[in-house]
Chains A and B, each alone.
Chain A
Amino acid sequence: MEKIKFEKVSKNFLVRDENKKGAQREFTAIQGIDFSVKEGEFITLVGPSGCGKSTLLDLLTGLTSPTKGRILIDGREINGPGLDRGIVFQQYALFPWKTARGNIEFGLEAKGIPKKEWQERTDYYLDLVGLKNYSDRYPHELSGGMKQRVAIARSLAFNPDVLLMDEPFAALDAQTRETLQTELLRIWKKTGKTIIFITHGIDEAVYLGERVVVLSANPGTVKKIIDIPLNNRLADADIKSNPAFVKARHEVWSLLHEPEYQGAHI
């Protein structure tokens, strides 16, 4: 089942022209992006800076629309933000004046879920991300990892079909990141969501994704999509030593380090 389909998507922006004062020129952020994501798939997008990751995400959220091509979800073109997609940002984007519970309820209210279901749902998702006892904490009372757990719970609680994650673990320390990666896999198995996960970490991309979309920069295009033949990620404690993992990791690494990209990610 095809969940999301990119059809030759390009996006141009007007930017300031460095050569001519006061003038603007067209800048192509992404060009001819064309691939599909299957229902329930965990797909990771990895690429150097300037590969248009954020542009892609904005297009998926519906906050901007493509210059050329179109993006379909369940065969329907995206024409604005919607609660069929939940977004997790790198900087959490929690409302600091609301408690963990309040933040989750914000999404429930936006979706129009009856108030009497809020308590139960919020409890369920806080439990799912391991924060059962932190429902009344304000974001500033939580660690970075906990904040991101709340953000994940908030995005899951209004029950979107697709979870879009924009470098969600990039701001966390290595140990927390690893824990949350495992947790995310567990949550994905449990909820069966389609997940699009943007990252610039090669290990992270290979560890989480069933497929890894390798992007190249200037303009952002799909270089290659690599299948990751791992199906026991949660069972194998040290999966990163698994030959299949090592091989896939090396392939992604090589693609990102080919001469044409040298200097693209200084």
Chain B
Amino acid sequence: MVTLNKPTQIEEPNKRHRASGKSLSIIIKAFKKSIVLILFVLLWELAPQLDFVDKTFLPPFSEVILAWWDLFITGEIWRHFEASILRSLFGFALALVIAIPLGLLIGWYPLARELLTPILELFRNTAALALLPVFILLLGIGEVSKISIVLYACTWPVLLNTISAVKNVDPLLIKSARSMNISSFKLFYKVILPASVPTIFTGIRMAGTGAILVLIAAEMIGAKAGLGYFITYSQYNFLIAEMYAGIITIALLGLLINYGLSGAERYFSRWKQ
């Protein structure tokens, strides 16, 4: 009994010590993560208040938040947010539907890959925004041109990553599956496809970032709604606090999309270390 009791007696304080250490480390971690953000907001608040910068061009953070709240209450910001997120999601989803199957096909057939890679590289390395005037000329300034430019910008990273994913599947896995005498079709969807998922997702995340960037720029040039339009509109009408409110909303939109995509990536790549 004595020998049995002893270890438990030793363990008890140990455990408690570890538990308190754990909660402390959580606080430290939270502090490390938030301190620079808090300082940034403080700087934004104080620099205009203390006249380090011109209040007219950079209103204090609190004013921007109040402006944002007003826009939120009236539903104004939501209208623009909705317009932007619908366009980006639509263009993004279309890009996935087109680029993933196409990339799988091109990656699987070496001849297609060799023929198409040069032109794909050319398109990929042409900044999408440089083509914006072309899109507007051809498709007007309506929804079609904006969704198209998002579609265009999202297609390349997804397409090229899918092609390289298929090309770079571990040959040993293919050999192992082939030695089990499975059909080419099964090899494709049971081995090539799952093995490609992580690399495809890298492309999808790149596309997610690109979608917002290109969309906002397109909305700034020609649109009647959307966050890009709202920002330029506010600037032209000297609604500076509102303009910053729009920028904050874009940041939130970007974070939201990135968060969603990382979650999806973690889910689909959960077998990776």
Contact = CB atoms under 8 A, between A and B. Distances in A.
Interface of B: 172-173, 175-182, 186, 190-191, 194-195, 197, 271-273
B273 A140 contact: yes
A93 B176 contact: yes
Interface stretch (A22-30, A68-76, A80-88, A180-188): A80-88
A218 interface: no
Interface residues of A, number: 24
A95 interface: yes
Given A63-B175, A82-B181, A89-B175, 20 more contacts: A61-B179, A62-B179, A63-B178, A81-B181, A83-B180, A83-B181, A89-B172, A89-B176, A93-B173, A93-B175, A97-B194, A97-B195, A97-B197, A97-B271, A106-B180, A107-B180, A110-B180, A138-B271, A140-B272, A140-B273
Contacts, number: 52
Given A63-B175, A95-B173, A97-B195, A81 B271 contact: no
Contacts of A111: 180
User: Which among B176, B181, B186 has the greatest number of chain A C-beta atoms within 10 A?
Assistant: B176
B198 to A, nearest CB: 9
A64 B182 CA distance: 16
Interface string A104-125: 0011001100000000000000
A96 interface: yes
A49 B235 CA distance: 72
Contacts of A83: 180-181
Nearest to B180: A110
B220 to A, nearest CB: 42
B176 A87 contact: yes
B111 to A, nearest CB: 21
Contacts of B186: 110
A85 to B, nearest CB: 8
Nearest to B268: A97
B195 A87 contact: no
A91 interface: yes
A139 B270 CA distance: 12
27 contacts: A61-B179, A63-B175, A63-B178, A81-B178, A81-B179, A81-B181, A82-B181, A89-B175, A91-B172, A93-B172, A93-B173, A93-B175, A93-B176, A95-B173, A95-B191, A95-B194, A96-B271, A97-B197, A97-B271, A98-B271, A110-B177, A110-B180, A110-B186, A140-B271, A140-B272, A140-B273, A158-B180
A111 B186 CA distance: 13
B272 A96 contact: yes
